[in-house]
Amino acid sequence: MADTIRISVDAMGGDNGPRVAIQGARLAFKERRNISFIFHGREAELLPLLDECPELKPVSTVRHCDLVIAMDEKPSVALRKGRGNSSMWNALQSVKDGEADVAVSGGNTGALMAMATFCLRPMEGISRPAIAAIWPTLRSDIIVLDVGATVGGDARQLVDFSILGAALANALFDQESPTVGLLNVGTEEVKGLDQVKEAGRLLTASSGAGFTYRGFVEGDDIGKGTVDVVVTEGFTGNIALKTAEGTARQVGTYVRSALRANLLSRIGALLASQAMAALKRKLDPRSVNGGVFLGLNGIVIKSHGGTDEIGYKSALGLAYEMARSRLIDKIGDRVRRFPPLPATENKNSEAEGSRA
């Protein structure tokens, strides 16, 4: 059996309480036996839930802490009061201390990013961390980042995100030189914000250092799978992510309504039941649940706060794969291989920092 991957879980984070985390872990353990868990949270709530899962209990440890970060807590407030004594912080601390290989939380995204950045610190050579999403497309799954960590971003940060996304594609999909595109309002070089155009010039000059830069891509290119990694800043990326999730649910609702419209439609649905089941799985956001925090000295997975145990299982499965593929080592290797960036005219670069 392969070495055991140990996952540190903020069991109290999320909209639906610790039951989702425990049941998600039970489902994940059924699929991967070389996995164990450290659950951080209130013992009085966690232990009875583990008693309901006798197969999970032998590979689980509970670490008690009373404080839970609320989903609407401001990141600065959460960091100040939760540092050192909350389920979210303690889940991250277990990774920092080497007790666990990866941390998972369904809690407040802003608070998790603030705590993860403070606890694990950005990797050398990376200006800001990013959140990457696994995105199903017509071609295959791709990486999209940033989907919410950094609102706005200068050219050098977009270059950093390109390096991080390429490393994730390598770790997850075993792609030696993944293709990268910058999300823009058009594919022409003259279009877009100054920082996006400048990032394009920097990537063009450095393409080949661990990835192949394909230029600008537009919104519809995401669903087509035109490139392996789509790079943008967090404001745009988060809107794109939420729009895609909402559209998937909308299409699913339309299809179900159409198939129940009349007797002939219901007969057709019965005949096509296997195809419809496959379509339902493809459109289910739970199957790709989990955002990867990239650029930190440790792996952190953010589960959707409102997911159920099936979605949480997906997030834990992603955590397992990231730890097993030694994501941190691969990111560090690609950062070291990337050539020094030339001087940029982007005014935000000096203010926000650079890779140097």
Instruction: Tell me which residue of 68, 7, 240 sits closest to 144, measured CA to CA.
Output: 240
Report how far apart, in Å, the C-alpha atoms of 141 and of each of 115, 137, 230, 263, 327 are.
29, 6, 11, 37, 18
pTM, entire model: 0.83
Average pLDDT score over residue span 137-160: 88
Which pLDDT score, from 0 to 100, does residue 351 have? 36
Residue range 290-313: mean pLDDT, rounded: 92
**DSSP state for residue 154 in the 8-state scheme:** -
Q: Output the CA angle 350-295-323, nearest 5 degrees.
A: 175
Query: Can you say how many angstroms the Cα of residue 118 is from the centroid of all Cα atoms in its chain?
Result: 18
Domain 137-285+336-352: CATH superfamily, name plus number: Isopropylmalate Dehydrogenase (3.40.718.10)
Q: What is the pLDDT of residues 67-81, one digit of tens each?
A: 999 998 999 999 998
Q: How confident is the model at residue 345 (pLDDT cuts 50, 70, 90)?
A: very low
106 and 10 in contact (C-beta within 8 Å)? Answer: yes
pLDDT for 207 beyond 90: no
For the chain, what percent of residues have pLDDT higher than 90? 48
Q: How many helices (H) and strands (E) does the chain have?
A: 14, 11
Q: Where in the chain is the domain with CATH 3.40.718.10?
A: 5-127+288-332, 137-285+336-352
* Collapsed DSSP state (helix, strand, coil) of residue 8: strand
d(CA 251, CA 246): 9
- Reported as type and span, the H/E element at residue 330 is helix 327-337
What is the separation of C-alpha 155 from the centre of its chain, rounded to a whole number of angstroms?
Answer: 22
Asked if 171 and 325 count as a contact pair (C-beta separation under 8 A), the reply is yes
Cα four-point dihedral sign 142, 143, 148, 150: negative
What pLDDT score does 193 carry?
A: 87
Q: Which fold has domain 5-127+288-332?
A: Isopropylmalate Dehydrogenase (3.40.718)
